[in-house]
Amino acid sequence: MSNTPASSGTAQSPSCNTASAAPSDTASGGNSSTPAPRLASDSVASASGAFPASVTPISTLTPVPADLTPFNTLGLRSRAEHYVRIDDPAQLPALSALAARHGRVLVLGGGSNMVLPAEVNGLVAHMALRGVRLVEQRADAWIVEAAGGEVWHDFVQSCLAQGWDGLENLSLIPGTVGAAPVQNIGAYGVELDSRFESLTAWDVTKREWVHMDRADCRFAYRDSRFKHETAGRWIIVAVRFALPRPWRPVLDYPDLQRHAGLAEATAAGAPARLSARSIADAVCDIRRAKLPDPARIGNAGSFFKNPIVDTAQREALAARFPGLVSYAQPDGRYKLAAGWLIDQCGWKGRSLGAAGVHERQALVLVNRGGAQAADILALARAIQADVQARFGVALEAEPVVVGG
């Protein structure tokens, strides 16, 4: 799927409780016919709303050449000859017409989970739909809807400001709301699918609105159906989240338990003293300590998924490597820390040409200046080969690799 979370060119906001100034972008997904999105009249975002009560199609949409370098957080030099920006659902029928002529559509969000080639062929649709609203206040959940182009971290912050808690563990993840279901983002003990209610999308091929619930999306670890279907078919226009009431903190992740700001309450057995805001602040502290800011050095965040193995393989590896870092999963399998595997192979801080591995986090590949897609992918392949040779474990890349 060629859409990915991220605020254009910057993965981190200046502070955890301050919205970033990054431009808006979106992503894609969908199935089963539904009406056009409604006006976000209860919007708490700095936007006029992305959900009109009735959509009068805009008949024309004119592609232009564009430099995509600012729109991917790896900072890879990239250009498109046919680029359109979508900031109104009324443009989507015209986008379908363009897609039929070009035959290929790259749906671009913020580009934080994407490896772009020097030249992108076909049509590039850059999503910028905005709007946030409270749909329903149920006894068990707040139902909150956000347009696909909302910057993810800003959306999380606006929810916290309104008292709609439940997304705090996902603070500071680069990206847009619309791209989050594509990747099924997750961090610090919370996965998006555990907070997901439904989404509204545009089917580019059939030229109709669609509605999809959690089962339709076929979520898995950092995966969804959208990664396995025709790229550019689905445009995620809006996503609805069910944020649990009453709120309960999720503090299972070791980094949260070790964080100085949370340790006292955790040690005292008094998680009720914690607030969603304090957890969000802790998550931001942890992420900033571990992950580089793309505004300073190009990167796509964690480049590899943490591999999941069965108990027998985990026990065999632990016998050979006593320091093995692994986490038990609900299904009885184990998730291995990919960063630890890469570090053990000696890659942390190393480079191949203009591409390198970050000095503090072995999961993060960086653009040291002037790197292109081929450089990043060559480094990724070298790391995968070494991990496979030493541990017998296959590493899978997280970012979408876009063909030229």
**CA distances in angstroms from 12 to 16, 19, 142, 284, 299, listed in the order given:** 9, 10, 26, 9, 12
DSSP H or E segment with residue 215: helix 214-217
Residue in the block written with tokens 């986490």 = 327
* Beta carbons within 10 angstroms of residue 354's beta carbon: 16
- Dihedrals phi, psi of 101, to nearest 5 degrees: -80, -40
Task: Answer yes or no: are the C-beta atoms of 283 and 157 closer than 8 Å.
Answer: no
Q: 387: closest CA among 317, 327, 322?
A: 317
CA distance 6 to 128: 12
Residue in the block written with tokens 């606006």 = 158
Pinpoint the alpha helices (H) of 218-350.
254-258, 260-267, 276-290, 311-320, 338-344
Task: Answer yes or no: are the C-beta atoms of 239 and 230 closer than 8 Å.
Answer: no
Residue in the block written with tokens 């931001």 = 284
List, by residue number, the catalytic residues: 222, 302, 398
Prior bond of 89 cis (ω within 30°):
no
State both tokens at 366: 């960086």
Hey, is 394 helix, strand or coil? Answer: coil
Hey, is 184 helix, strand or coil? Answer: coil
DSSP H or E segment with residue 237: strand 234-244
Q: What is the DSSP string of 67-124?
A: E-GGGSTT----EEEEEEEE-SGGGHHHHHHHHHHHS-EEEESS-TTEE--SEEEEEE
- Dihedrals phi, psi of 147, to nearest 5 degrees: -70, 150
